[in-house]
Amino acid sequence: MFEKSTWIRLPRNVVVGHGVRSSVVEVVDDLHLQGRPLLVTSPTPRKVAADPVAADFEAAGIDPAIVTIETATFDSVERVIETAEAEEASYLVGVGGGKAIDIAKMASDHLEMGFLSVPTAASHDGIVSNRGSVPEGDTRHSVAAEPPLAVVADTEILAEAPWELTTAGCADIISNYTAVMDWRLATRLKDVEYSEYAAALSEMTAEILVDNADLIRPGLEESAWVVTKALMSSGVAMSIADSSRPASGAEHLFSHQLDRLEPNGALHGHQVGVGSIMTAYLHGGEDGVWQDIRAALASIDAPTTAAELGIDDETVIEALTTCHEIRDRYTILGDGMNERAAHEVARKTGVID
Ligand SMILES: NC(=O)C1=CN([C@@H]2O[C@H](COP(=O)(O)OP(=O)(O)OC[C@H]3O[C@@H](n4cnc5c(N)ncnc54)[C@H](OP(=O)(O)O)[C@@H]3O)[C@@H](O)[C@H]2O)C=CC1
Ligand SMILES: O=C(CO)COP(=O)(O)O
Ligand SMILES: [Zn+2]
């Protein structure tokens, strides 16, 4: 008997382009959302986008509440929940980078309220996905969460964000290559659930981004367009799979472990990019695609070495040798690398000297 079923949760409206910030109120109307919005933001995104969005609501006769969070913590989630209850909000609007959007996402899950994602930085694919990531104990990886009802990504705002946030978003997409390699490996060895559609979409997203790498330059609004479209597509791949598997393999384990060892280290996308160079080497050896991945990262100004990440060599080795333990996710790291092997891959790929 056929017993499979699938339930894919996606944003209903995805609006990307120049000046679309002013469409937030129209999107809310299209979604038939009633009542009072609570804007969830952080300090810089507040000035850049949340205050203007609040003014757009006021001009439309809607009185928004606003809460500014500073940290990606469960205290912040709690604060948003309390504010939403006190202000009698009906839905949330996350305006900012990954921090503000993830806090809105986690709070909306708890409040059983819809939320909109209005990214001010194209820094990783969590700004679109149904995954939330707030550090808790030793956990750094994402967990299943509420997907946004809509995403409104204004390329004018995204293009003015610091360039390294955009290159981090690119590197998060480039890392999809190795994430899918790990996923296929785990399917062959451990029979893990696999979606051909999600894997193909994730790989194609990375390919399109790399093919358009020469359009990705600081100050070009088209760069924000190319990267944001890729982040949307990667988020959709995760929703189709109902897992972060299409976009997260051993390179993400490496980055999550760096976050534990070096909490104020580098940006998520930059770390997974460097991880991806090394795990591509582990998959393919000398002649594999690791050099293509390194060249793609270098071409968009993303770090390719530990020194460029600002992380010392010992921390890289410690992360490589221990990160297989942090989550039940089979990857090319298997049951772990020993120190000699970790030094070898990091040296051969030029990540450490
Ligand atoms: N859900 C998921 O799947 C994933 C979630 N994450 C999570 O996302 C977070 C990291 O996301 P990231 O976007 O890098 O971090 P932040 O949201 O902290 O943004 C990074 C920095 O950029 C600033 N900023 C944001 N937008 C602009 C802008 N337009 N102009 C100028 N400065 C701006 C922020 O300012 P300010 O300090 O004022 O906020 C902050 O200092 C972490 O909490 C991480 O756990 C990471 C990967 C995946
Ligand atoms: O960052 C992500 C995908 O790019 C989410 O992956 P994790 O589930 O490993 O946090
Ligand atoms: Zn990622």
Find the CATH number of the domain harbouring 241: 1.20.1090.10
Q: Are 76 and 54 in contact (CB under 8 A)?
A: no
Of 121, 146, 161, the residue that ends a domain is: 161
pLDDT in tens, the chain (353 residues): 899 899 999 999 999 999 999 999 999 999 999 999 999 999 999 999 999 999 999 999 999 999 999 999 999 999 999 999 999 999 999 999 999 999 999 999 999 999 999 999 999 999 999 999 999 888 999 999 989 999 999 999 999 999 999 999 999 999 999 999 999 999 999 999 999 999 999 999 999 999 999 889 998 999 999 999 999 999 999 999 999 999 999 999 999 999 999 999 999 999 999 999 999 999 998 778 999 999 999 999 999 999 999 999 999 999 999 999 999 999 999 999 999 999 999 999 999 99
224 and 275 co-located in one domain: yes
Return the pLDDT at 83.
98
Is 353 part of any domain? no
Q: Which of 125, 133, 141 is nearest to 173 (CA)?
A: 125
Is 3 part of any domain? no
Ligand number nearest to the C-alpha of 133: 1
Is 252 part of any domain? yes
Q: What angle do CA 92, 263, 137 make, to 5 degrees?
A: 70
User: Structural domain of residue 183, as residue ranges?
Assistant: 164-348
142 and 233 co-located in one domain: no
From the CB of 158, is ligand 1 less than 6 Å away?
Answer: no
Cα(249)–Cα(72) distance, rounded to whole angstroms?
Answer: 23
153 and 183 co-located in one domain: no
Residue ID of nearest Cα to ligand 1 atom 3:
126
155 and 240 co-located in one domain: no
Cα(334)–Cα(339) distance, rounded to whole angstroms?
Answer: 14
39 and 148 co-located in one domain: yes
136 and 231 co-located in one domain: no
Report CA(337)–ligand 3 centroid distance (Å): 22
From the CB of 74, is ligand 1 less than 6 Å away?
Answer: no
Is 6 part of any domain? no
Mutation test residue for ligand 1: of 143, 165, 170, 255, the one with most atoms within 8 Å of CB: 165
Report CA(246)–ligand 2 centroid distance (Å): 9
Cα(148)–Cα(106) distance, rounded to whole angstroms?
Answer: 11
From the CB of 117, is ligand 1 less than 6 Å away?
Answer: no
Q: Are 243 and 143 in contact (CB under 8 A)?
A: no
Report CA(256)–ligand 3 centroid distance (Å): 10
Three-class secondary structure assignment of the chain? CCCCCCCCCCCCEEEEECCHHHHHHHHHHHCCCCCCEEEEECHHHHHHHHHHHHHHHHHCCCCCEEEECCCCCHHHHHHHHHHHHHCCCCEEEEEECHHHHHHHHHHHHHHCCCEEEEECCCCCHHHCCCEECCCECCECCCEECCCCCEEEEEHHHHHHCCHHHHHHHHHHHHCHHHHHHHHHHHHHHHCCCCCHHHHHHHHHHHHHHHHCHHHCCCCCHHHHHHHHHHHHHHHHHHHHHCCCHHHCCHHHHHHHHHHHHCCCCCCHHHHHHHHHHHHHHHHHCCCCCHHHHHHHHHHCCCCCCHHHHCCCHHHHHHHHHHHHHCCCCCCCCCCCCCHHHHHHHHHHCCCCC
Alpha-carbon separation of residue 348 from 277, 305, 343 (angstroms): 10, 12, 8
Return the pLDDT at 285.
82
157 and 170 co-located in one domain: no
From the CB of 67, is ligand 1 less than 6 Å away?
Answer: no
Residues 6 or more apart from 244 whose CB is under 8 A from it? Answer: 129, 131, 141, 142, 238, 252
257 and 192 co-located in one domain: yes
What CATH number is attached to the domain comprising 115?
3.40.50.1970
92 and 185 co-located in one domain: no
Is 8 part of any domain? no
Is 2 part of any domain? no
Of 123, 143, 161, the residue that ends a domain is: 161
Return the pLDDT at 131.
94
Residue ID of nearest Cα to ligand 1 atom 48:
126
Is 126 part of any domain? yes
318 and 176 co-located in one domain: yes
Ligand number nearest to the C-alpha of 271: 3
Mutation test residue for ligand 1: of 44, 74, 103, 158, the one with most atoms within 8 Å of CB: 44
Of 161, 180, 200, the residue that ends a domain is: 161
Number of domains in the chain: 2
Return the pLDDT at 288.
80
125 is in an annotated binding site: yes
Return the pLDDT at 28.
98
Return the pLDDT at 287.
78
Is 1 part of any domain? no
Ligand number nearest to the C-alpha of 275: 3
Ligand 2 contacts (CB < 6 A) are 124-126, 131, 133, 141-142, 172, 244, 247-248, 252
79 and 57 co-located in one domain: yes
Q: Which of 128, 127, 134, 124 is nearest to 267 (CA)?
A: 124
134 and 187 co-located in one domain: no
Report CA(203)–ligand 1 centroid distance (Å): 25
